[in-house]
């Protein structure tokens, strides 16, 4: 037995071994680098129902806490107003989060009050929500979905008992675009919840009926009305300015035709506008920055829109470059 012999390979043998090594390398590389979890899809029809229920559950907490508030300040806004947060903000946040996570434990949710630690108190997950039975199922990858929630919009006015401006909001964005918006008015005596799914359906109370006023009606934020009033008076004629609070409230005023435009001059958080953006888009309108740029809702690495806001159903270009 010659244990010290030399193994000689011909060209065919070398090709076979080289091919085997290449196949092994490709297999190891692809299996080791592909660490993504298995594909999980969500039915947006079912998510719409859950989103409506979540916004309504948040609204119940807002109403329940109105006479037993603890108010804190996060500091001053750029306009010099107190940026308030209350126990109602926290309770609503937890109710909305629990409702969404109960149905979809791995859902990516972006909230204004993300640091809140929620207790184990049970809430109503199963209450009835009415959406059209004719709606088709529509599946999307869960990794492409971000849900933006505002547990209590118009907190400052809420603490001052100006309840008509108060809303709770849930928005579903798919691949950065807002596709489902829910705006709930917890203090309305009727028509509490407004919702829309872009290209699919909208709630029966979302009926656009433009004001018969000959003047252009523009809604703006109470917190910085002086600045934009001056600018609009210099650049536009026959304009009626309406001051209001809450981005959700103002977006709905546009969607319902009560005003022609909602203009905002300063930075605004995306959880304040995502639901309104989806609703405006679903009813044929447009929400952009003041430079006519669309707003993306990808993830929580960029939660602020720094470039102002123009919201309209018609004649959008009329307001671009006016402030």
153 is annotated as contributing to ligand binding: yes
Query: What do you get for the CA distance between the two ends of the chain, in Å?
Result: 94
Between CA 115 and CA 124, with CA 118 as vertex, the angle to 5 degrees is 130
Residue 25 and residue 19: Cα distance in Å, rounded?
10
The 8 Å CB, 24+ separation contacts for 291-298 are 291/320, 292/316, 292/317, 292/320, 295/270, 296/176, 296/177, 297/146, 297/148, 297/171, 297/173, 297/176, 297/177, 297/178, 297/270, 298/146, 298/173, 298/176
Per the annotation, does 112 bind a ligand?
yes
On whether 296 is known to bind a ligand per the annotation, the reply is no
CA angle 252, 258, 263 (to 5 degrees): 65
Task: For residue 149, give both structure tokens.
Answer: 């929630």
162 known member of a binding site: no
The verdict on whether residue 120 carries a ligand-binding annotation is no
Residues forming the annotated binding site for Mg(2+)?
112, 150, 152-153, 272
Residues forming the annotated binding site?
112, 150, 152-153, 272
């Amino acid at each position: 037995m010659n244990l010290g012999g030399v193994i000689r390979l011909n060209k065919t043998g070398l090709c076979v071994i080289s091919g085997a090594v290449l196949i092994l390398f490709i297999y190891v590389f692809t299996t080791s680098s592909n660490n993504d979890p298995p594909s999980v899809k969500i039915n947006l029809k079912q998510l719409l129902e859950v989103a409506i229920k979540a916004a309504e559950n948040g609204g119940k907490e807002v109403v329940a806490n109105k006479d037993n508030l603890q108010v804190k300040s996060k500091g001053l806004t750029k306009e010099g107003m107190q940026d308030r947060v209350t126990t109602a903000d926290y309770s609503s946040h937890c109710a909305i989060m629990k409702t969404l996570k109960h149905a979809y434990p791995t859902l990516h949710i972006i909230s204004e009050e993300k640091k809140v630690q929620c207790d184990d108190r049970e809430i109503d997950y199963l209450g009835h929500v009415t959406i059209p039975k004719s709606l088709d199922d529509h599946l999307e990858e869960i990794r492409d979905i971000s849900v933006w929630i505002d547990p209590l919009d118009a907190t400052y006015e809420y603490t001052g008992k100006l309840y008509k401006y108060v809303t709770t909001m849930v928005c579903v964005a798919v691949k950065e675009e807002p596709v489902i918006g829910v705006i709930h008015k917890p203090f309305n005596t009727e028509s509490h919840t407004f919702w829309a799914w872009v290209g699919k359906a909208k709630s029966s109370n979302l009926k656009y009926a433009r004001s018969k006023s000959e003047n252009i009606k523009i809604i703006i934020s109470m917190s910085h009305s002086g600045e934009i009033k001056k600018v609009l008076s210099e650049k536009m004629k026959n304009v009626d300015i309406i001051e209001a609070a809450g981005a959700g409230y103002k977006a709905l005023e546009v969607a319902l035709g009560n005003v022609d435009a909602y203009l905002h001059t300063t930075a605004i958080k995306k959880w304040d506008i995502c639901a309104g953006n989806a609703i405006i888009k679903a009813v044929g309108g447009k929400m952009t920055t003041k430079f006519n740029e669309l707003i993306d809702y990808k993830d929580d690495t960029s939660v602020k829109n720094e470039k102002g806001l123009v919201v309209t159903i018609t004649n959008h270009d009329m307001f671009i470059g006016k402030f």
